[in-house]
Amino acid sequence: MFETLIAWLVATFLLGPIQADIAGRMEAARAPAALVQQVGDCATAAAPRLVARAAEDPIWAISQAFGVWTGTTRAEAVLGDAAPACGPVLAAARPFLQDG
């Protein structure tokens, strides 16, 4: 029961905003749809690691969610930290995630 609650909180307040932020910026930068999909798939695959990390360190999860929400933490940094295997996809997406 506790794991289900943690998973829901992470999906709602951390993973959802991460995916929305990255996808929104990539689409605004006219990134290829296939790359946007790959980054989304990578974020989805990172969910179990995000849930495990949040269960071990709730303060980390809260600070990351707040940072992404306020824009002080880059969503791709949180994703890359949680899922190192996403590194190549995030590297390919980096040009589309740059500011201005």
CB atoms within 10 A of CB 62: 14
Q: Within the chain, which residues score under 70 in pLDDT?
A: 99-100
The predicted pLDDT at position 36 comes to 95
**For the segment 29-51, what is each residue's pLDDT rounded down to a tens digit?**
999 999 999 999 999 999 999 89
The predicted pLDDT at position 39 comes to 95
- pTM listed for this prediction: 0.86
DSSP string, 15-67: IHHHHHHHHHHHHHTT--HHHHHHHHHHHHHHHHHHHHHHHH-HHHHHHHHHH
The predicted pLDDT at position 66 comes to 93
The predicted pLDDT at position 3 comes to 82
The predicted pLDDT at position 67 comes to 93
Q: How far apart, in Å, are the Cα atoms of 22 and each of 37, 39, 48, 56, 91?
A: 11, 8, 19, 25, 13
Read off the tokens for 32: 């290829």
Cα end-to-end span (Å), the chain: 44
Side-chain-side CA neighbours of residue 62 (13 Å): 4
Residues listed for the chain: 100
